[in-house]
Copies of this chain bind each other. A is one copy, B any other.
Amino acid sequence: MKGNANIIRPYYSEKCPVIKALEILGGKWRLAIIWELSHYKSLRYNELKRHIDGITNIMLTRSLQVLEQHHLINRTDYGQIPPHVEYSITADCQALLPALEIINEWGKTRIEVHRAQS
């Protein structure tokens, strides 16, 4: 136990918007999900899963849930059986797309660097 361990300090995420954003977007798959969804008006769960190679059910489910909680995606359940659910990005999320474009382009150069090294 350290000296002032009982003093609750404001989290840095409440001071630094970049860290706050990363708290919401920083998962392994979240940006990829947003990025994929941004290319369609909407996608169904399994469609989305086929677009994101390697993602498992549980990770897709969890990621969609947190993104929905933060109002980055819309979940529309048509209440049918068998189930029919559609996902799409919200207006709030659209604001991020210019950043994702840049990151996507930057990522391409990194893939090339990686290839050149191997």
Q: Which residues of A contact B (CB under 8 A)?
A: 9, 11-22, 24-26, 28-29, 31-32, 35, 52-54, 70, 92, 95-96, 98-100, 102-111, 114
Contacts and interface: CB of A to CB of B under 8 A. Distances in A.
A31 B17 contact: no
Contacts of A17: 103-108, 110-111
Contacts of A14: 111, 114
Judged by DSSP, the binding face of A is helix
5 contacts: A17-B108, A18-B32, A21-B104, A22-B26, A95-B106
Nearest to A13: B111
Contact of A18 (B21, B26, B70, B104): B104
Nearest to A97: B102
4 nearest CB pairs, A to B: A17-B107, A21-B107, A99-B102, A99-B99
Nearest to A19: B32
